[in-house]
Chain A
Amino acid sequence: MVIRGIAAILTAMMGSLRIRDVLRPAEVTFTWQGRPFRAPVGESLATALLEAGIRCLGEGPGAPRAAFCMAGSCQQCLVRVDGRPAQACLVPVRAGMAAEPA
């Protein structure tokens, strides 16, 4: 609880990565490795994780793996969404979605 509070304060201090003059739909909750995060419904999972400060999406051969092309071609953003392999840059955030490293 305390840790989460501190994390929230830190995030607020650092400011959101979401650009201000963009209108977005309502936020929903999804989870990454069981931890809850909020994002506007329809935002890409890769974007939502970036905003949440999560850049490593898994382990590649010998190095952490992170989204690179954001366009569905590099396959570096492979994760598991509700149990199925998915590309985080192509998957829109839905309420209750459970994501984890592939």
Chain B
Amino acid sequence: MSVACDIAVLGAGPAGMAAATEAARRGARVVLLDEYPAPGGQAHRAAPPGFRMPADSDRRAGDRLRHALALSGAELRLGHRVWDLAGGPPAQAGISRPFRIASLGPQGPAALEARALILCPGAQERIIPFPGWTLPGVIGLAAASILLKAQGVLPGRRAVVAGVGPLLLAVAARVMKAGAELAAVVDLAGPAEWQAALPALASRPDLLMRGLAWRARLASRSVAVLRAHRVLAAEGGRVLERVRVAPLSGGAPEEFDCDALCIGHGLVPATEAARCLGAAHCYAPRDGGWVPVLDKDGRSSVPLLYVAGDAGSLRGAAAAPASGRLAALAALADLGRLPPRRHARARLGPALAHAHAVRPGAAMAAMMALRPALLDGIAPETVVCRCEGVTRRDIEQAIGAGAREMNQLGRFTRCGTGPCQGRLCGEAAAELLAGRVGGRERAGFLTTHPPLRPVPIEMLLGEPAPADTAPVLAPA
């Protein structure tokens, strides 16, 4: 059974919650879908029912958004994994065709038709592989943040926290506060980069103060904070035992014993949904990489399709709600539910809030932009694609044999064709290819096709009903 609504919102993070709230408050029939059982997204991820985490500012900001959403009248479809997106108005409008959204929820498959669609899938973490990165004990920075904030569990007893971006200090501070030993903090960014980012960060004194407090806490425990350093390798037998770290400029490596390495090389906008629907994209490293082409209200190249939050451009959780509201208002205006003059007035508030919040977000995005130097750290025998066990050497050989673009590379090596669909290896593989074919635009990206996420086939088919079976014809 397909249900129809005015606006569907995909992703219940800060952008999606705010978009759904804004549209539903103004009388539209809104359905908000998310894979998790509670709204919040990664930044404000809710703890499981019955868990009570000590309150912090992220939690409180999330609670405010959740509260407004609950009062807005938007319908929530939580625990729904969206696996197919189709329809939408044809490029030359005129006829209106609804978007069709297929999901798999707690009660089985569900279908939804929406006149307008706002995508708020957020971002995923980029990890450039290095020897030993597949060892159990090595996890993403975002993963560590989820463990600490939403599960209340330490990633290990003695951790090295490494990489770049706002999560680095946040995870380090939380690990220490929660009572684990912090062996080292390994920051790709050097002091000069932090200094360059400072004026932009100062526009959010609360965030700046929090960052400074974290640094002070690290200093007071005399934790080794290594700036402009990288992780060379993670080592151990069947699990992680130590990491080797060295300055980016070269120089003598240092070793740190640990049972957890939390590492992330920045965030990448999640674009598979927008690509699946044929929206135009461009490569903009300072926005996070491949991003949909959007106007300032989040309109994509496909009519009635909008993208808000980090999925459109990495500007952080603080800027996401305003971006969601702008997209919701634009959708209402485009659907004829908000007259132009009222739309112009309504968007002023969120536009101003957005302009204010994007500065620190942009500074962080610049710091998190892909660093091609990290590619030197991938050894020939290092596995790049974990799902299919494809090494750097396999990739180089395929390029040598004539693979010129990501989908070809996938066919040559199976890189990116496993269950994660390139979410984990795509950035590294694309960058390796880009270096040989003359840029990321040439290397392209893996074509998205349904299922967007793995879903068990028997769940989609459901129990076969007698009527589904074609009658067997008696032989003539």
Decide: A92 near B48, CB < 8 A? Known: A18-B152, A19-B179, A56-B136.
Answer: yes
Min CB distance B435 to A, Å, is 24
A29 CB–B CB distance under 8 Å: no
A75 within 8 A of B: yes
Is B53 part of the binding interface, using a Cβ–Cβ cutoff of 8 Å? yes
- Let me know if B147 and A47 touch, CB within 8 A: yes
Complex formed: what's the CA distance from A55 to B143 in Å?
A: 14
User: Does B228 sit within 8 A of A, measured CB to CB?
Assistant: no
A70: B residues at CB distance < 8 A: 139-140, 142-144, 146-147, 151
User: For residue A84, which residue of chain B has the nearest CB?
Assistant: B456
Residue A95 at the chain B interface, CB threshold 8 Å: no
Interface residues in A, total, Cβ within 8 A: 43
Residues in chain B near residue A18, CB distance under 8 A: 152-154
> CB-defined interface of B139-182 with A at 8 Å, one 1/0 digit per residue?
11011101110011111110000000000000000000011000
Query: For the complex, what is the distance from the CA of A19 to the CA of B423, rounded to whole Å?
Result: 30
Given the interface pairs A62-B389, A63-B134, A66-B136, the reply to whether A25 lies near B50 with Cβ below 8 Å is yes
Nearest A residue (CB) for B238: A64
In the complex, are the beta carbons of A23 and B388 less than 8 A apart? no
Chain A positions within 8 Å of B423 at CB level: 73-74
Known contacts A17-B156, A64-B238, A70-B139; decide if A75 and B387 are in contact (CB<8 Å).
yes
Taking a contact as CB atoms under 8 Å apart, the answer to whether A15 and B454 are in contact is: no
A42 CB → nearest B CB, Å: 4
Q: How far apart are the CA atoms of A51 and B154 in the complex, in Å?
A: 9
Query: Could you tell me the distance in whole angstroms from the C-beta of A47 to the nearest C-beta in chain B?
Result: 5
Q: Are A71 and B143 in contact (CB under 8 A)?
A: yes
Encode B432-473 as 1/0 by CB contact (under 8 A) with A: 000000000000000000000110100000000000000000
Task: Verify A75–B420 contact, CB threshold 8 A.
Answer: yes
| Contact in complex: B49, A73 (CB < 8 Å) | no
Q: Whole-angstrom distance between the alpha carbons of A20 and B54 in the complex?
A: 10
Given pairs A50-B147, A69-B139, A71-B146, 18 additional interface contacts (CB within 8 A): A17-B155, A43-B51, A44-B48, A50-B153, A50-B155, A51-B153, A56-B239, A60-B134, A60-B386, A61-B383, A61-B387, A65-B386, A70-B139, A70-B140, A70-B147, A71-B42, A72-B35, A75-B454
Q: 10 closest Cβ contacts across the A-B interface?
A: A61-B389, A25-B50, A22-B152, A66-B136, A55-B136, A42-B48, A70-B143, A23-B52, A75-B419, A75-B420
Most A-side CB within 10 Å, residue of B48, B238, B424, B456: B48
Check B125 for interface membership: any CB of A closer than 8 A: yes
Contacting residue for B138 out of A14, A21, A56, A68, CB 8 A: A68
Asked if B408 lies at the interface with its beta carbon under 8 angstroms from chain A, I say no
Shortest beta-carbon distance from B214 to chain A in Å: 17
Does residue B124 face the partner (Cβ distance < 8 Å to A)?
A: yes
Nearest chain B residue, comparing its CB with the CB of A86: B456
B interface residues with partner A (beta carbon < 8 Å): 35, 42, 47-54, 124-125, 134-140, 142-144, 146-148, 151-157, 178-179, 238-239, 383, 386-389, 418-420, 423-424, 453-454, 456
Q: Is the pair B137, A25 in contact by a Cβ cutoff of 8 Å?
A: no
Which A residues are CB-close (under 8 A) to B383? 61-63
User: Do B152 and A24 have beta carbons less than 8 Å apart?
Assistant: yes
Contact among B157, B419, B453 for A17, CB-based, below 8 A: B157
A contacts with B: majority SS: loop
Q: Does A78 reach chain B (CB closer than 8 Å)?
A: yes
Q: Which of A's residues lie within 8 Å of B, judged by CB?
A: 14-15, 17-25, 40-44, 47, 50-51, 55-56, 60-76, 78, 84-85, 90, 92
Asked if B389 and A60 make an inter-chain contact with CB atoms under 8 angstroms apart, the answer reads: yes
- The reply to whether B136 and A43 contact each other, CB–CB distance below 8 Å, is no
With A17-B157, A76-B386 in contact, do A41 and B50 touch (Cβ < 8 Å)? yes
Known contacts A68-B138, A73-B423, A75-B419: A19-B143 contact under CB 8 Å: no
Pair A69/B48 contact, Cβ less than 8 Å: no
Q: How far is the CB of B381 from chain A (nearest CB, A)?
A: 10
- Of the A-B pairs whose beta carbons lie under 8 Å apart in the complex, a sample of 12, sorted by A's number, is A42-B48, A47-B151, A55-B136, A55-B239, A65-B136, A66-B136, A68-B143, A70-B139, A70-B151, A75-B420, A75-B454, A92-B48
Q: In the assembled complex, which residues on chain B have CB atoms less than 8 Å from the CB atom of A40? A: 50-51
Residue of B124, B125, B147, B418 most packed against chain A (CB within 10 A)? B147
Residue among A64, A67, A75, A90 making CB contact with B139, cutoff 8 Å: A67
Question: What are the residues of chain B within 8 A of A15 when measuring CB–CB?
Answer: 157
Structural contact, B179 and A20, CB atoms closer than 8 A: yes
Q: In the complex, what residues of A have CB within 8 A of residue B238's CB?
A: 56, 64
* Chain A residue with the shortest CB-CB distance to B389: A61
> Nearest residue in A to B35 (C-beta to C-beta)?
A72
Determine which residue in A23, A41, A51 has the highest number of CB atoms from chain B within 10 A of its CB, and name it.
A23
A84 shortest CB reach to chain B, Å? 7
* CB closest residue in chain A, given B125: A69
Residues of B within 8 A of A60 (CB): 134, 386-387, 389
